[in-house]
């Protein structure tokens, strides 16, 4: 993690310096730099074995419920649980960075940039954060992807009111983000919920941002997990609570949630990135401890070509239709 921290300072410095030069805010510059890299990956990734867009929701639900039936037959008091990534899996785009990091530019601004615009990061504090980043050098934007964003956002909003920022995010979800939800992802989530499966979100986005989506998803806020920052009363600090829910960190968060839930059994996992989500999807698909010999269902949504050999266990689907269509 020490090396990652050094690389973060160097990369963020490059982003901040470029942003000042061309008039963009560092949040917008970060999203643009990271967005260009991910857009290139999305454009080059073939849609192999996914089927026609939005045609496999019933198949996915049936597969998960078949696993639930096996689990419940062997352990009647089991609580089946499904775990979802959020950005790119349920929401088209990224609630923190905005809609320009995927394959279509300028869908919408992310909550980080919107919150800065609304004054949640006063200009003097914002400039101090930028100056601190500018003390480093240029080591190439985007190398660590999502991991770089967390300390950047932490620096921007440290000292701000958690409840006020949450309320702002909830209003933005109603105003902007609701229409960018993948309709097929919501259909699967709600069908599983209706069948007694507990749905939980595990996102790398700051938890205060992703919890803003609770109402539009119809989930209790307690089931939504993101990158957490310690609070001092209602004030956000810059101290990150580990594990960071990215890559293997998502698996760590999942295991903690299951361990805390009496009778909890992870029966399904949903993601959109082999790098960010592949580890927890593989964990659910390969968990040999499920009751009754059941096999967990792992679903990769809009993941493109499957490079990792472990991805052979994943159902691969394409979701395009949006709630706002």
pLDDT in tens, 56-113: 999 999 999 999 999 999 999 999 999 999 999 999 999 988 886 545 566 898 898 8
Note whether 249 and 309 are same-domain residues: yes
Model confidence at 139, in pLDDT bands (50, 70, 90)? Answer: very low
Note whether 87 and 1 are same-domain residues: no
Mean pLDDT along residues 243-256: 95
Note whether 312 and 263 are same-domain residues: yes
E strand or H helix at 113: helix 111-117
Six-digit token pair at 31?
Answer: 């999203």
Give me the CATH number covering residue 75: 3.40.50.1000
Note whether 122 and 221 are same-domain residues: no
Note whether 56 and 38 are same-domain residues: no
Residue 73 Cα distances to 78, 155, 291, angstroms = 9, 49, 8
Three-state DSSP class for residue 142 = coil
Tell me which range, 2-11, 93-102, 165-174, is most confidently predicted by mean pLDDT.
Answer: 165-174
Note whether 158 and 189 are same-domain residues: no
The pLDDT of residue 264: 98
- When divided into structural domains, the chain yields a total of 2
Tell me which range, 2-6, 96-100, 191-195, 310-314, is most confidently predicted by mean pLDDT.
Answer: 191-195
Mean pLDDT along residues 251-268: 98
Note whether 209 and 263 are same-domain residues: yes
Model confidence at 175, in pLDDT bands (50, 70, 90)? Answer: very high
Instruction: Single out the residue in 134, 157, 174 at which a domain terminates.
Output: 174
Note whether 104 and 86 are same-domain residues: no
Note whether 68 and 199 are same-domain residues: yes
Exposed/middle/buried for residue 36 (C-beta within 10 Å: 0-12, 13-18, 19+):
middle
pLDDT in tens, 292-315: 999 999 999 998 766 666 677 899
Mean pLDDT along residues 125-149: 47
Note whether 248 and 324 are same-domain residues: yes
Confidence (pTM): 0.82
Note whether 106 and 215 are same-domain residues: no
The answer to whether residue 179 scores a pLDDT higher than 70 is: yes
- Number of DSSP helices (H) and strands (E) in the chain, helices first: 12, 7
Q: Which domain holds residue 299?
A: 47-92+181-325
Instruction: Single out the residue in 174, 199, 214 at which a domain terminates.
Output: 174
The pLDDT of residue 127: 64
Instruction: Single out the residue in 146, 174, 202 at which a domain terminates.
Output: 174
């Amino acid at each position: 993690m020490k090396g990652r921290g050094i690389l973060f300072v160097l990369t963020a410095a490059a982003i901040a310096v470029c942003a000042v030069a061309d008039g963009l805010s560092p949040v917008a510059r970060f999203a643009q730099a990271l967005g260009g890299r991910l857009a290139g990956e999305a454009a080059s990734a073939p849609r192999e074995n996914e089927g026609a867009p939005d045609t496999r929701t019933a198949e996915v639900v049936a597969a998960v419920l078949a696993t639930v039936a096996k689990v419940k037959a062997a352990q009647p008091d089991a609580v089946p649980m499904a775990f979802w990534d959020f950005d790119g899996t349920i929401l088209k785009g990224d609630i923190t960075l905005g809609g320009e990091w995927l394959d279509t530019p300028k869908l919408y601004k992310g909550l980080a940039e919107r919150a800065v615009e609304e004054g949640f990061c006063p200009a003097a504090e914002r400039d101090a954060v930028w100056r601190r980043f500018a003390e480093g050098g240029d080591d190439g934007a985007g190398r660590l992807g999502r991991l770089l964003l967390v300390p950047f956002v932490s620096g921007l909003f440290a000292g701000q009111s958690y409840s006020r920022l949450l309320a702002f995010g909830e209003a933005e979800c109603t105003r902007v983000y609701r229409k960018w939800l993948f309709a097929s992802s919501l259909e699967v989530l709600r069908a599983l919920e209706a069948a007694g499966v507990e749905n939980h979100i595990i996102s790398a986005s700051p938890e205060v941002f992703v919890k803003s989506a609770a109402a539009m998803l119809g989930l209790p806020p307690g089931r939504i997990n993101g990158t957490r920052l310690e609070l001092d009363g209602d004030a956000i600090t810059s101290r990150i609570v580990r594990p960071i829910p990215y890559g293997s960190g998502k698996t760590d968060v999942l295991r903690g949630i299951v361990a805390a839930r009496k009778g909890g059994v992870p029966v399904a996992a949903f993601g959109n990135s082999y790098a960010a989500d592949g580890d927890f999807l593989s964990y659910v698909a390969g968990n040999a401890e499920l009751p009754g010999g059941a096999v967990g269902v792992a679903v990769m949504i809009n993941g493109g070509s499957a490079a990792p050999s472990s991805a052979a266990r994943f159902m691969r689907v394409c979701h395009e239709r949006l709630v706002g269509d």
